[in-house]
Structure formats: C-alpha cells, structure tokens
Amino acid sequence: MQTIASSRSDTGQRASPGQLFGYPFRIFFLSLTLLSLVGIPLWVLQVTGTIQLPLAMPGIFWHQHEMLFGFLSAAIAGFLLTAVCVWTGTERTHGMQLFLLWAVWAAARVLLTVGGDLPGWLVQGVNLAFLPLVMLDAGWRIWHARQKRQLMILLVLGLLWLMQVAFVVRLNPVYAYGALIMAMALISIIGGRITPAFTTGWLRQRGLGADRVRMVPALDMASVFTMILLLASLVTGWTMVTAGLALGAAALMLVRLYNWKGWLVRQEPLLWILHLSILWVPVALVLLAGNLLAGWPASAWTHAAGTGAVACLILGVVARVSLGHTGRPMVLPRGMVLAFAAIHLAALTRVVTAFEGLPWHAGVTASGLLWALAYAIFLARYTGILASPRVDGKPG
C-alpha cells in the first residue's frame, strides 16, 4: 500500500544548489525532468506551427534526438555513474568533475535548440562528446574492479553512441530506430537486474513467497544478444529477419516478465511501475514487427518504445533511486501514483493516435500534456529531495 510522505520529508534538510553536484543522480535526474517539461511542450508547439525555433537540425530529427540522446543520456549518466560507484566500491564522481560533465550535456541541449546559425562541427562536437565521457568514467571503474559482468552495459552504450553519430551525420530515421533498440537493450540489462531483485526483496520482507520470482541468466543473455542482432538487422535493411528477431526478442522478454511475477507486487507502486514499464518493451517489438510485415505505422512502435518503455521506466527508476540514495525510506511522495498513471496514459494515447484512434493534433497534444503532468509532479515532489543532504548524514 502506498504511504504518503509529508511535505517536510519531501524537502528534507536545507536545500542547496551545490548539493546537486554531490552525486551524479542528483543533477542528472533533475535535468532530465526539466528537459521533459521544456522539450516536449516546445516540440508540440513547433510541430503544430505555433512557434519556430532556430534548431540546429530539422524539427522531427531534433525531437527524436533530444528524447533519445538528451533525455535518455541524462538518465543513463545519473543512474550508471551512481550505480557503478556502488558496484565497484569507488569514490563517486562529484564536485567540479561532475559539474563539467553536466555542463557538456547542458551545452549540447542549448546548442541543438538555438544554434541553427552556428557551425555544425561546434554543435555536434559538443553533442557527441557526452556519452563517451560517461563511458570513460564508468569504464575506468569497471576495468580496475575487474567486473566483467558490467562490460555488456558498456558494449550497448557504445552501440547507442554509434547510432547517435550516424544519426547526426546522416539524419536518417533508421539510426534513431537503432538507438531505440539499444535503449530497450539497456532496459533488458538494467531493468532485468533491478526489477526481479527488488521484487524478491519486497516479497521476502513480507513472507509472501519470494522463491516464486526466477532469474534465468541464460535467458537474460539471450534477450540482450537478440536485441543486438535486431539492431544489426534493422540498420542493414533485412526486413523479414528484423521482424523475426523483433518477435523473438518480444517472446524472450515476456517469459522473463512472467518469471518476475509482477502481479505479486501490485500493491507497491515503486515496484509495479517497473514491471508495467518493461511490459512496453515486448509491446513495442510486436508493433515493430507489425510495421515491417503489415505496414503498421512506425510511430506506433517508436512511441511504445520511447514514451512507454523508456520514459515510463525512467520515471519509476528515478523515483526509487532518489529516495534510496538520499537515505530516505522507500515511501512514495504524495501524487506520484498519479504521475505513474499519467506517463503510461501518455504512451497509450500516443500509440492510439498513431493508429488514427484519435485525431492527430488532439492526440499529440494530449500525450504531451500527460507527459508534462507526470514529470511536473516529479519535479514538485523531488526537487527538495535531490537538492538536500542525505538524511542519514552520509556523503553524497
């Protein structure tokens, strides 16, 4: 059952802007939220002709890029650079080093949005520098800790970055599609670790049969490798092979979700949000196969993946990580269940709109407003948490 946190616990101790650079999750989780609240409405205004921005790339490509390589990259940096310190037992990235890393990400957002008259090499040079810097930080720690298990994450991140390079150079949607596949591969890896682990822990604490949750390493590896093969097939244009791999990857993820027994944690929003968000991965993959085999609209699977799987899971993860890594109990702040419902409804609305179940203008606007509502609630409830010291007095 959800427990409502008081406004006092939401704000914690005295908030300080400098505290945002005490740990990577703080500044990047807040930044991706602000990007959501600014970027999505700007896109809706741009695509509906209400405003004209001096974008550094055509509008549709700017939208795709910022959701994939702006929003998602901030989430990756915030989660990975926080988690890898725990995995490897190394000192966290913080202070000036973290500020400079964040400044690269922030500068790229500004340049891509208003830098239409600037040299392309400057805009894209800053833009393409961010993910390699994140991989360098994480990779150095993983290498010295000799944690070979984490190398798969770096491989997928490398492929994601290659998709970014190809996308900004060629402005071809196929590379955005490839990036979405790698985003779902990251969900397969990271979501496949934390979701059953957190579910098992919650069930064990309550004596509810934690042994029913199963993790099968061979199945996990097969799921990731199928995604990588799917990427290769997609960018090379092998339509039938791509469709088959998409259906295979969807089946593997559905089996994994069944093994994780998400229905057993339906009373805990911090857990069901993870299961429900990952369910969008097989939905997106089936819609991708339908696009290739039956001509279903491409925007259906891309928004099932981008808004459904990626944005929904990110909201669930940042809500949990922000509590755990600030020393707070796993008590969901007031209004966050509404935020979880809103972001899933945003994804559903956008997919229905792709199939012309709603008028395009109304559907896009409604989806954008629901997205904004979800992340606005997060901003209202978590800004104080992210900007305040840990309540247990520990560093970070």
- With H, G, I as helix, E, B as strand and everything else as coil, classify residue 6: coil
Nearest to 73 by CA among 24, 7, 16: 24
Taking every pair of Cα atoms in the chain, the longest distance, rounded to a whole number of angstroms, is 62
| DSSP class of 50 | S
Q: How far apart are CA 212 and CA 11, in angstroms?
A: 38
**Alpha carbons 204 and 295: distance in angstroms, whole number:** 46
CA distance 365 to 18: 36
Q: Please, are residues 82 and 325 in contact by the beta-carbon 8 Å criterion?
A: yes
For the question of whether the overall pTM of this predicted structure is more than 0.75, the answer is yes
Burial 30-41 (b: 16+ CB within 10 A, else e): bbbbebbbebbb
Looking at this protein, which amino acid is placed at residue 269?
P
- Backbone φ and ψ of 201, nearest 5°: -60, -45
Enumerate the β-bridge partners of residue 5: 333
285 alpha carbon, distance to own chain's centre: 17
Helix or strand holding residue 298 (H, E): helix 298-303
DSSP code for 117: T
Distances (CA, A) of 64 to 59, 100, 260: 9, 25, 32
Q: What is the pLDDT along the chain (396 residues), one digit of tens a residue?
A: 333 333 334 444 566 667 899 999 999 999 999 998 988 778 778 877 788 889 999 988 998 899 899 999 999 999 999 999 888 888 889 899 999 999 999 999 999 999 999 999 999 999 999 999 999 999 999 988 888 888 999 999 999 999 999 999 999 999 999 999 999 999 999 999 999 999 999 999 998 889 999 999 999 999 999 999 999 999 999 999 999 999 999 999 999 999 999 999 999 999 999 999 999 999 999 999 999 999 999 999 999 999 999 999 999 999 999 999 999 999 999 999 999 999 999 999 999 999 999 999 899 889 989 999 999 999 999 999 999 998 888 876
The single-letter code of the amino acid at 33 is T
Q: C-alpha distances in angstroms, 240 versus 208, 244, 335, 370, 379?
A: 44, 6, 45, 35, 43
**Residue 63 Rama label (left phi>0; alpha psi -120 to 50; beta):** alpha
**Using CA atoms, how far apart are residues 151 and 330, in angstroms rounded to an integer?**
30
